Amino acid sequence: MRFSLQVRYAICGLFDLAYNGGGKAVQVRVIGERQGIPARYLEQIFQRLRRSGLVTGKRGPGGGYTLARPPAEIRLRDIVESLEGPAATWFTESDESEPVRYRPDFVWPELADRVAETLSDLDLEELCRRASRSGVPHPQDAEAMYFI
């Protein structure tokens, strides 16, 4: 299975909010710079995430996005479903009007359930723990350098 670029960017963007945001509003431009994602494209993704209730947005000076729930309550499944729809539809062919007799179509619901279960086991807080253990730097770590 391969996730769409939107899904991958959404996971990266929400991870960035959880790992670097510190509960403060972060501009999409800043997230895009850190994650290597075009800001205009990321803004479109964040609008969808806002409509799904995963982030909240604030306009004006000091504005940006924050997580709508604690990182431990946002599962990767929530992110994927906000962009790709319910798990039950992930392996279905939407352009076919009739089933093909000799295909193993019985396996798609099981695959969707297993992928959804795995994604439900991972939340943003766990991603942050793993990132910290893996040595993923925080931007504030670089800002704390003083020269005399």
CATH code at position 94:
1.10.10.10
106 has a pLDDT exceeding 90: no
For residue 147, is it within any domain? no
* Average pLDDT along the chain: 88
For residues 75 and 124, what is the distance between their CA atoms, to the nearest angstrom? 6
Span 6-17, average pLDDT:
96
104 has a pLDDT exceeding 90: no
For residues 120 and 133, what is the distance between their CA atoms, to the nearest angstrom? 21
Under the banding of pLDDT at 50, 70 and 90, the label for residue 141 is low
Cα angle, residue 89 at apex, residues 87 and 90 outer, rounded to 5° = 70
Span 88-109, average pLDDT:
73
Query: pLDDT tens across 108-123, in order?
Result: 888 889 999 999 999 9
CB 68 within 8 A of CB 56: yes
Instruction: Provide the domain count of the chain.
Output: 1
